[in-house]
Structures are given as structure tokens and as C-alpha cells.
Amino acid sequence: MMTKILTIIGARPQFVKAAAISRAFIEQGDIEEIIVHTGQHFDANMSDIFFEEMNIPAPNYNLNINSLGHGAMTGRMLEEIEKIILKENPDFVMVFGDTNSTLAGALAAKKLHIKVIHVEAGLRSFNMRMPEEVNRILTDRISDILLCPTQQAVDNLKKEGYDNIECKVINCGDVMQDAAMYYAQNSSEQSSIITKCNLFAKPFCLATIHRQENTDDESRLAEIIDALNSIAEKEAVIVPLHPRTKKIIDSKNIDIKFTAIDPVGYFDMIELLKGCSMVLTDSGGLQKEAFFFKKHCITFRDETEWVELIDNGFNTVTGANKEKIESAYNTYKTKKSDFSIDLYGGGTAANRIAKEIVLNV
């Protein structure tokens, strides 16, 4: 008997995770997947290109819901996803991570008594001012199968009393490592970004800025950009610029000395990760991808969900503090680390997830 999964995705990291799991579903052979793209990331370079490049099955539904406040966006998604659930009647609804799409999908399913699978469950920043933290906590609480990427995530749920809640908690590893290992095999054939940006035999840092806590706070954004400008005097700094961040920089006429480029596809990002000297970011996913490609990471946040990267010396959390960012940069320019430690499952997470779903029908 086929197991029917309704997969909800809407943002770049979710496309990457979905690609790995969709492949595992096809290999499993007895899972039918219906993909719903909420439209949360609607820019072609941040959405369409991922489906094309990564051979993700085209979404069965595209809701095109974006450019709204948190309440309006989540409410619209909830309304539309509910209609699709009623039409498709899946065995499970699967959601990823911590976006508005995640929470809307989980809420719609739970209210219709459909089991919820949460991929990347149990992560905590312990900062309730982050919309992502609210989304992930609420989603975890109403999920039936909580697929944790790390032991720390499992431990977080235990501390919150999940042993006493009717659900299944599984440490399955991180599907982003599955995707990174799979696509890195031929990324050089699919990307010309190193040539395009003239980065051959040239040291460069890879940086991204997109979180609202940084982009919407003028002083934080100024500190981060000042730090990147300072580093750019020592070596090239390449910044694939999120559309919202670009709009803010342009509107405020902020002077940048680093190289800003348009958002890039996944293969381009892999090639930039392979070639860079280190990563500077406020992204959750990119912190791990830096580790997958054996690069140190500086994180422009006041906390991180990926504490194992901090504990093992691969990542430094600096907040939006120019002095701390530059100090971490200077440390990592000469630091040598052993990246062989297995923190995220070694690329087997998606297959384990497929098997667990079939076992739990």
C-alpha cells in the first residue's frame, strides 16, 4: 500500500532538504509525494532555479503567497494548505525547519487530524524574539514524528518534557549533509560562478546577511557591513545579497566595499563554499554547509542552534559586533581544524527518514 505524503516547502533551505528526501522516497518505492510550494521565496534566483538545478519534482501546487507580514502570510498559507489537505487526504503532512510555511502546514494538518512530520525538529536558539524560534517550538509541539538532526536537538526535546508527550522523537541526522555530499559530486560541471566572479587562485570570504534581527536594525547592519568592508581590504569578500537586504542597503545609500552579487543557485553556492577561505553569515543552514565543506564560520547572531559547531571550534558567534567579527576573522585565517568528526549523520538521514515514515503509517 502506498503511503501518501504532503510536503510543504517555501524557502531555499527547504528546497535543499526536500531534494534529498524526495530522492529517498523514490528509492523507497512505496511513498507517493505531493509537493506544495507556498511561494514564500518567490524570487526566481531563490526559488525556481533550485527546482531546475536539483531535479526536485515540480510542485503539484504553488500558492504564490509572499510579501506579507507574518500574520497575514501565515494565515493565507493556513487557509490554502487546508484546502489542499482536504482534497488530497494524505497520511502525513511533512514540514521543514522554522518558517511561516512550516507553522502553517503543521497547523492546517493538525486541525484536520492528519499526522505531522517535522524535519529538523528540536532545534533551539532560546531567543523568543526570533520568529523562527516561535515557529519551530509551536511546530514541534503539534508534530507526531519529530526528526532531529543532532543529539543536542533530541536533548532539547527531552528537557521540554517530550518523553511525556504522545509523539516519536528520532535522531536521524541532517538531510542537508545528504544534499551537500550528493550535489558536490558534479557542482563544478553545473556552475561557472568562480570564473564569473574572477576568483581563481584568489583567497576570498563568502558572506550572507538576511535575518531581520540584522537587516531591520540599522546599528546592527552598519556594524556588520563595516566589518565586511574592513575584511574586504585584506581579501575579497563575496556576498550573494538577499533581495530584502539589497533593498535596505540601496534605500539607505550604505557604502559597501565588498563584492555584492545576485542570489545564487545551489551549485553556485557549493562552488563558493569549496573555494572560499571561510564563511561569515547569519544563516542557520550556511553554518552547517561551511562545516560540510571544511570551512570555519563566523556567525552574525547572538546565539546559534548548532552548538556542536561552537563546542568543536568550527564556528564563532560574534553578534553584530565589528571588533568581534574582525577578531574571529584573524583567528580563523591561521587556525587549522580537524573536520573529520561526524556531527550530522554522514549523509544517511534521508534514507532513514523514508524508512521511519513507512514504519509509522
Distance, in Å, from the CA atom of 137 to the CA atom of 126, rounded to the nearest integer, reads 10
DSSP label of 339: T
Distance, in Å, from the CA atom of 166 to the CA atom of 142, rounded to the nearest integer, reads 10
Dihedral pair phi/psi, residue 223, rounded to 5°: -65, -45
In terms of C-beta density within 10 A (0-12 exposed, 13-18 middle, 19 or more buried), how is residue 273 classed? buried
Residue 210 is a catalytic residue: yes
The DSSP-derived string for 199-239 is: -TT--EEEE----HHHHS-HHHHHHHHHHHHHHHTTSEEEE
Catalytic residue among 37, 118, 210, 242: 210
Instruction: Tally Cβ neighbours within 10 Å of residue 152.
Output: 18
Cβ burial 285-298 (10 Å sphere, 16+ → b, else e): bbbbbbbbbebbbb
Residue 50, C-alpha cell as written in the block: 533550485
Q: Are 187 and 270 in contact (CB under 8 A)?
A: yes
Distance, in Å, from the CA atom of 225 to the CA atom of 351, rounded to the nearest integer, reads 41
Which residues have a catalytic role annotated?
Answer: 210
